Amino acid sequence: MTAAEPPQEGARRRVCFLLKVRQEKLAEYRQRHAEVWPEMRAALAATGWHNYSLFLRDDGLLVGYLETEDFDRARAAMDATEVNARWQQQMAPYFEALDGAAPDAAMVPLAEVFHLD
């Protein structure tokens, strides 16, 4: 599959995105993610976020990865949950350059250029 081809029906698409955590908030951000609310974890799973991982570099670069059938649909389904609204409101101060957007709205998928099956 090339980047231009849509995934087959029922197939999961790999999604990777970047965000930037404020330098002064790194330790607190790590701690918050060591204790993600059970209802947030359940909502992510129920709305199609699979194999969701976050990686944080010491300079604040955050790399997110997930697999889903349809990222727009999965993000919209999460956006419709009450728990996500609470989580995004609490997470917004941790990030740089959101320009007023919620952190999940700033997740712009990177183009996949290679994958080793």
Establish if 2 belongs to a structural domain.
no
Establish if 8 belongs to a structural domain.
no
Number of domains in the chain: 1
Residues 42-98: pLDDT tens digits?
Answer: 999 999 999 999 999 999 999 999 999 999 999 999 999 999 999 999 999 999 977
Buried b (16+ CB within 10 A) or exposed e, 59-89: ebebebebbbeebeebbebbeebebbeebbe
Establish if 25 belongs to a structural domain.
yes
Establish if 7 belongs to a structural domain.
no
State residue 8's pLDDT score.
63
Establish if 30 belongs to a structural domain.
yes
Contact 17, 67 (CB under 8 A): no
Establish if 23 belongs to a structural domain.
yes
State residue 7's pLDDT score.
53
**Which residue range forms the structural domain that includes residue 20?**
13-106
pTM: 0.85
Q: What is the CATH number of the domain that holds 44?
A: 3.30.70.100
Q: What angle do CA 87, 72, 40 make, to 5 degrees?
A: 25
Query: Alpha carbon of 94 to those of 32, 70, 88: distances in Å?
Result: 10, 27, 10
Residues 5-30: pLDDT tens digits?
Answer: 555 667 899 999 999 999 999 999 99
Marked catalytic residue, from 33, 50, 57, 73: 33
Q: pLDDT category, 1, cuts 50, 70, 90? A: very low
Establish if 111 belongs to a structural domain.
no
Establish if 4 belongs to a structural domain.
no
Q: Is 33 a catalytic residue?
A: yes
Question: Would you tell me how many other CB atoms lie within 10 Å of the CB of residue 43?
Answer: 19
